[in-house]
A = this chain, B = another copy of it.
Amino acid sequence: MAAASADQHQPPESPPLLILHRFPSFKLSFFPFLRTKYTVLDPHADPPDPSFPALSKSARLMLCVGPTPLTSDDLVNYPAVECVVGSSAGLNHLDLDACRRRRIRVTSAGDAFSDDVADYAVGLAIDVLRRISSADRFVRAGSWPARNEYSLGSKVSGKRVGIVGLGSIGSRIAKRFDAFGCTVTYTSRNKKSHLPYTYYADILDLASNSDVLVVCCALTNETHHLIDKDVMAALGKRGIIVNVGRGALIDEKELVEFLVRGEIGGAGLDVFENEPRVPKELLELDNVVLSPHKAVMTPDSFAALEEMVLGNLEAFFANEPLKAEIEL
């Protein structure tokens, strides 16, 4: 077996070594199952595992759980790691440059959550435009019998939807809005000629031609605060922003100002710059829908992810192709 020779600190019969890289609070339902297949090396084991310091030096495989940051320094501590199996759609928590330099292969959650995020993005947009959460608050507060008038919001059908990042998630969002009779346009690193939507190279052009701006690109150095005050001004007073990507894609301080001053029409936000902190000004606004970073998954797709992650762990030791491997 290929793994046996490299796992030199491990008795020959032991299962292959696997580093579990996680925030201490992250616990997954399949951890116990992992121990039936692998010698799991967990820096947060309680009580601590005395063999960890030695064995972790020779482990070739790491499972990085959710958005746990993986830095260049972490990798120095695990010199034998050849592959990081990720379980997250976004990869901004991984130092991909360091992985590239060390020739470490990296996998992501791939498409496992793309439908969920796309579904949620559309749900947030309808909710903000048609004010569904606000309506629910209105009814629960007992205001309906007292006040016959209620804000009807704004029509969804026919809206111009600009998508920021037309990847696995963005293209699913596009397909959904298309069925609502919306006009879909996008910006992306590259024009996707095989797709029927209008491409804008410049996000300002996208914003000034959109009623709804849906942010679903990866967070990188280039996309940090991509949605700045110029983009918000271009979107305009009736425009709304939906963010299902990462909080720092938007200049949150500016977003709060624009919302409070009524200079954009509303926002549906699943992500924030300093989660779980949500700017307190937003809690008072009726034209925003706030969500605790949960677009990313449902139990249904978590089961699909679990299957893919476990498959990638097996595939690595069997020298078989990995699913959702990232080009580095």
Residues of A bordering B, CB below 8 Å? 25, 115-116, 118-120, 122-124, 126-127, 130, 132-133, 135-140, 142, 144-145, 148, 150, 152-158, 175-176, 178-181, 275-278, 283, 289-292, 294, 297-302
Please determine whether A297 and B123 come into contact, CB atoms closer than 8 angstroms: no
Please determine whether A152 and B119 come into contact, CB atoms closer than 8 angstroms: no
A interface SS class: helix
Q: A179-B178, A292-B144 are in contact. Are A126 and B119 (CB under 8 A)?
A: yes
Distance in Å from the Cβ of A249 to the closest Cβ of chain B? 19
Please determine whether A133 and B138 come into contact, CB atoms closer than 8 angstroms: no
Please determine whether A294 and B126 come into contact, CB atoms closer than 8 angstroms: no
Please determine whether A291 and B132 come into contact, CB atoms closer than 8 angstroms: yes
User: In the complex the two chains form, what is the Cα distance from A63 to B291 in whole Å?
Assistant: 44
Distance in Å from the Cβ of A141 to the closest Cβ of chain B? 9
Q: A144-B278, A150-B294, A298-B152 are in contact. Are A132 and B139 (CB under 8 A)?
A: no
Please determine whether A139 and B298 come into contact, CB atoms closer than 8 angstroms: no
Interface centre among A126, A142, A278, A290 (most CB of B within 10 A): A126
Please determine whether A152 and B297 come into contact, CB atoms closer than 8 angstroms: yes
Residues from chain B with Cβ under 8 Å of A144 in the complex:
275-276, 278, 292
Please determine whether B290 and A136 come into contact, CB atoms closer than 8 angstroms: yes
Please determine whether A136 and B180 come into contact, CB atoms closer than 8 angstroms: no
Please determine whether A132 and B124 come into contact, CB atoms closer than 8 angstroms: yes
6 contacts between A and B (CB under 8 A): A123-B123, A127-B132, A132-B133, A137-B137, A140-B290, A144-B276
Q: A126-B119, A180-B176, A181-B115 are in contact. Are A294 and B155 (CB under 8 A)?
A: no
User: In the complex the two chains form, what is the Cα distance from A276 to B139 in whole Å?
Assistant: 9
User: In the complex the two chains form, what is the Cα distance from A298 to B137 in whole Å?
Assistant: 19
Please determine whether A292 and B123 come into contact, CB atoms closer than 8 angstroms: no
Please determine whether A123 and B120 come into contact, CB atoms closer than 8 angstroms: no
Residues from chain B with Cβ under 8 Å of A145 in the complex:
276-277
Q: A119-B180, A126-B119, A126-B120 are in contact. Are A152 and B278 (CB under 8 A)?
A: no
Please determine whether B136 and A126 come into contact, CB atoms closer than 8 angstroms: no
